[in-house]
Amino acid sequence: MSFKLPKLSYSYKDFEPYIDRKTMDIHYNKHHGTYTENLNKAISGTDMMNLSIEEILRRSYMETPAIRNNSGGFYNHNLFWDILIPSSEYTEISSFLNEKIQKDFDSFDSFKKKFTTAASNRFGSGWAWLCVKEKKLTICSTANQDNPIMSGIGCEGVPILGLDVWEHAYYLQYQNRRLDYISSFWNIINWKKVEENYKKIINNFHG
């Protein structure tokens, strides 16, 4: 089995003024496209060709850097594109998900502040995550293309929302102003999709 670059449900310009079209184009085609291509090369001829991306992530710590980096890059970007929505189609957070966030973070503002801190304090390249761990929502960050599904990285859980803080995700528009990029991110989150991700994981707990 080979992995394919997913088709986007929107155009590159749909996130302006929050993310410019050139960044979207380069980020999707050059960066995500390269991770996808290199992942297929790395697993070619191995037993990993028959595994799901989640199964590859779980055992990637035992594998080569090429498999670890590119499996993470493939999965992470898949999730990232999936939880974005053009601002013109903005979906507000539901009372259901908002209640879950308030339960685990005291308030939505507290959650937003903690997530922003995780994203802004990540030194160098990496990601900030909202995860489900043992039925609770947690926030953490990972370096490079590491992912909470991977073993032994100190950021455990199943991600339902992720923010790419590699410079390629924002530098053309924001330069060194990562915090401005993070602030813009809150305007284009598809909360309906985040809720779907949450419910899928919770339902799996119940068998």
The predicted pLDDT at position 207 comes to 46
Question: What is the reported pTM?
Answer: 0.95
Strand order in the sheet with 126-133: 136-143, 126-133, 158-164
Residue 148: asked if its preceding bond is cis (omega within 30°), the reply is no
| Whole-angstrom distance, CA of residue 81 vs CA of residue 83 | 6
Q: What is the pLDDT of residue 122?
A: 96
State pLDDT tens for residues 13-58: 999 999 999 999 999 999 999 999 999 999 999 999 999 999 999 9
Encoding tokens for residue 75?
């999965």
- Cβ(164)–Cβ(14) under 8 Å? no
Q: Is the pLDDT of residue 1 over 70?
A: no
Q: Which domains does the chain have, with CATH numbers?
A: 20-86 (1.10.287.990), 89-205 (3.55.40.20)
- Out of 52-66, 118-132, 173-187, which region has the weakest mean confidence (pLDDT)? 52-66
pLDDT digit string, tens, across residues 68-107: 999 999 999 999 999 999 987 878 999 999 999 999 999 9
Q: Which amino acid is at 169?
A: A
